[in-house]
């Protein structure tokens, strides 16, 4: 039997203790850039990291797609995040709002209603009040 390294041991320990391994996902399209500083990648990241810290969740990765439309689901960091989810490295995804995850409602709905649950991932869209841990979400 192979020995676990310290990182693997801590990760498994947190999972067994019910801890979340959070991924912060930020996106800003060229069109969003016209809205000013409040929508910036840095502001999204800071707000989400502070929220996770307040909840006691470990942020294990920050994914950022800057300059990509939400209609494009082949964004580089979105795809990296989805692969990390499949490898069970992440069990919580948090975004500023649902539109940061995607603007293609069918594909975004697939992530939230199928892909995330199938992979044991909780999803939170902070400003929209969406939290898949609760049953009363109105995502549609």
pLDDT for residue 16: 44
pLDDT for residue 1: 42
CA atoms lying within 13 Å on the CB side of residue 30: 2
pLDDT surpassing 90 at residue 130: yes
Here the CATH number for the domain that contains residue 36 is: 3.40.50.1390
Range of the domain at 42: 20-131
Backbone angles phi, psi at 135, to 5 degrees: -85, -15
The answer to whether 58 touches 10, Cβ cutoff 8 Å, is no
The answer to whether 27 touches 69, Cβ cutoff 8 Å, is no
Cα–Cα nearest to 17, from 50, 49, 56? 56
pLDDT for residue 47: 97
- The total number of structural domains in the chain stands at 1
């Amino acid at each position: 039997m192979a020995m676990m390294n310290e990182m693997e041991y801590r990760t498994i320990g947190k999972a067994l203790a019910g801890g979340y391994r959070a991924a912060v996902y930020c996106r800003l399209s060229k069109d969003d850039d016209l809205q000013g500083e409040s929508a910036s990648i840095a502001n999204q990241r800071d707000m989400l990291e502070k929220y996770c810290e307040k909840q006691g969740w470990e942020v294990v990765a920050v994914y950022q797609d800057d300059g990509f439309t939400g209609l494009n689901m082949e964004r580089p960091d979105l795809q990296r995040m989805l692969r990390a989810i499949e490898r069970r490295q992440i069990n919580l995804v948090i975004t500023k709002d649902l539109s940061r995850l995607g603007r293609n409602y069918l594909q975004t709905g697939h992530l939230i209603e199928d892909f995330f649950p199938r992979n044991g991932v909780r999803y939170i869209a902070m400003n929209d009040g969406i939290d898949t841990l609760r049953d009363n979400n109105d995502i549609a």
